[in-house]
Amino acid sequence: MIQTPPDTAVVLFDGKDLSNWTQLDGEAAVWEVANGAMTVTAGEGDIVTREKFTDFLLHLEFMTPDMPDATGQAKGNSGVFLQGRYEIQVLDSYGIDVPGQGDCGAIYNQFATLVNACKPPLEWQTYDVIFRAARVDESGEIEENARVTVLQNGIVIQNNVQLLGATGGATDEDAAEPGPLRLQDHGNSVKYRNIWIVPLPLKGSDVY
Nearer to Mg ion, 55 or 103 (CB): 103
DSSP secondary structure code for residue 111 in this structure = B
Query: Least distance from C-beta 186 to Mg ion, angstroms?
Result: 5
Residue selected from 56, 59, 79, 82 as contacting Mg ion according to rule CB under 5 A: 79
Give CA–CA dist 90/129, Å, rounded: 14
What is 2-38 written as a DSSP string?
A: --SPPTT-EEEE-SS--TTEEETTSSBP--EEETTEE
Which residue's CB atom is positioned nearest to Mg ion?
A: 79
- What is the Cβ-side half-sphere exposure of residue 44, based on CA atoms within 13 angstroms? 19
Exposure class string for 144-164: b at 16+ Cβ within 10 A, else e: ebbbbbbbbbebebbeebebe
Beta bridge partners of 89: 79
Query: Least distance from C-beta 73 to Mg ion, angstroms?
Result: 7
Stretch that binds Mg ion, among 10-18, 35-43, 78-86, 151-159 (CB under 5 A): 78-86
Stretch that binds Mg ion, among 36-44, 84-92, 133-141, 162-170 (CB under 5 A): 84-92
Nearer to Mg ion, 89 or 125 (CB): 89
Q: Which of residues 160-199 bind Mg ion (CB under 5 A)?
A: 184, 186
Nearer to Mg ion, 55 or 158 (CB): 158
Query: Least distance from C-beta 77 to Mg ion, angstroms?
Result: 5
Q: Measuring CA to CA, which residue among 17, 19, 11 is closest to residue 37?
A: 17
Query: Least distance from C-beta 155 to Mg ion, angstroms?
Result: 20
Query: Least distance from C-beta 107 to Mg ion, angstroms?
Result: 11
- CA-CA-CA-CA torsion sign (190, 2, 56, 197): positive
List residues binding Mg ion (CB under 5 A).
77, 79, 89, 184, 186
